[in-house]
Amino acid sequence: MKPLERDAAHLWDMLDAAQQAAEFAAGMELDQLLADARTRYAIERALEIVGEAARRVSPDTMSRHPEIPWQGIIGFRNVLAHEYGDIDYRRLYTVIREGVPVMIVALRRILDSIESP
């Protein structure tokens, strides 16, 4: 598989997991999220997948798309995966409400440009 094809696959994984996280959180307020462990865990897992896929995107593609906060996504994944006892759920809520929708739009744009150069 060519590097661009690998990157496209990782970007698709990021998009799919981000969309799932957004769906899990749809219509939830912070207090509802805090009270719903199942949804929190689902969102956490989806965002871990986003971060893991982001980590696998080539440095070249990352540098061509600075609109994606690569290091922030990867760093947040590391917190979710390794420092799960220290998760700031207010931050998680902000990420899911503000960061994820912007990332979904950016990922769609990137994938569209890869598929139809």
Catalytic residue ranges: 77, 82
Interior angle at CA 57, CA 53 and CA 62, nearest 5: 125
Contact 73, 50 (CB under 8 A): yes
- Torsion angle in degrees (nearest 10) through CA of 114, 110, 6, 45: -150
Contact 16, 24 (CB under 8 A): no
Contact 15, 108 (CB under 8 A): yes
